[in-house]
Amino acid sequence: MQNEPELSILIPIKDRLKLTSQCLDSLFATMPAHLCTEVIVQDNGSRDGTADYLASLSGRVRVVKGTAGCSYAQSNNAMARSANGRVLCLLNNDTVLLDGWIEPMLAVLDRHDDACMVGNVQLFPGEKGTRRINHAGVVFDDRRMPTHLYEGMPENLEASGAVRELQAVTAACVMIRRDRYQQLGGLDESYRNGHEDIDLCLRARAAGLKNWVVGTSRIVHFGSSTPGRLDHDDQNTKLFMSRHREAISADLGQVTHADGVAWPSRSRAYRMARALWKCRPIRAVLKRILRTSIGMRLRQTMVRRLSRSG
């Protein structure tokens, strides 16, 4: 095939036109001119003008039609089957790409033959210099539950700039060789919009592969922006722990100690919010609210504010 792309960028969407347009605008602005890239967007039944917007980008994106009930894993697996690039980049539409984000991730992927999932540092939105970290890799606490490393810490935290192997990274923005994705069977569709990326990372480790976080690649990530995103959290967690609990290393303390960082440092407000979320009756009510776009925006605001106060 002539002009076969080096990189296929896969973006699943469902409504949220404003997020999608700013994501794609930033993507087009930051793609290196020398890199042959294809952008595939799977539209899972959007009803907010997204279809017309995507049609206006004809020639710049390839649109795959999905259904309203299509999960994150199903969407990405479908796009991966139609992708032509040597490397796949799974990308959420609630991201804003910053200059220079692509090259460091590709460099790490090409430098290490045993690299599987290569992620990056993701920041909460805000003005440059005041932003807080959303994700600098995934570590596991004493209960072997995954957590975003250095969430809430300042973006200039020195330790967040490391290029290093970790057990897992989030697939909100991640690169993986297409043949490796296929060999591992892609994302497990038993999960419904949660834990499928961490599951793939741990399956990769079981196969002798490594996952990396690249601190020199940075983007902005709003986080959990799709209504209903948290509907299956309990089922996903139960499935994940039944499969991987024994293979997980509780490394939060080890990583932060090696970095010389006192984290997590949480405010009283943060601890109270977490305690409320763990209360089943309150959580049931909050989940109904979080199924709506307004509820998801409220959650994003609260997470950023509570993390900032930590």
Element (H, E) at 26: helix 17-30
pLDDT digits (tens, 9 = 90+) for 201-241: 999 999 999 999 999 999 999 875 555 555 678 899 999 99
Amino acid (one-letter) located at 4: E
Q: At what angle do helices 293-308 and 268-278 cross, to 10 degrees?
A: 140
Judge whether 308 and 152 are in contact, CB under 8 Å: yes
Judged on CB neighbours under 10 Å (0-12, 13-18, 19+), 278 is exposed
Strand segments (E) across 51-114: 62-65, 87-91, 95-97
**Averaged confidence pLDDT in the chain:** 89
pLDDT for 264 beyond 90: no
pLDDT digits (tens, 9 = 90+) for 1-42: 457 899 999 999 998 899 999 999 999 999 999 999 999 999
Domains, the chain, in order of start with CATH, read: 7-265 (3.90.550.10), 266-310 (no CATH)
Judge whether 261 and 162 are in contact, CB under 8 Å: no
Radius of gyration for the chain, computed over Cα atoms and rounded to the nearest angstrom:
18
Q: Residue 308 — very low, low, confident or very high, per pLDDT cuts 50/70/90?
A: low
Judge whether 137 and 149 are in contact, CB under 8 Å: yes
φ, ψ dihedrals at 209, nearest 5°: -100, 170
Q: Taking residues 154-180, report their average pLDDT.
A: 97
pLDDT digits (tens, 9 = 90+) for 46-68: 988 999 999 999 899 999 999 98
- For residue 117 the two structure tokens come to 């999932």
Q: Residue 152 — very low, low, confident or very high, per pLDDT cuts 50/70/90?
A: confident
Instruction: Please indicate, yes or no, whether the overall pTM of this predicted structure exceeds 0.85.
Output: yes
Helix (H, G, I), strand (E, B) or coil at 88: strand
For residues 168 and 165, what is the distance between their CA atoms, to the nearest angstrom? 8
pLDDT digits (tens, 9 = 90+) for 93-139: 999 999 999 999 999 999 999 999 999 999 999 888 889 999 999 99
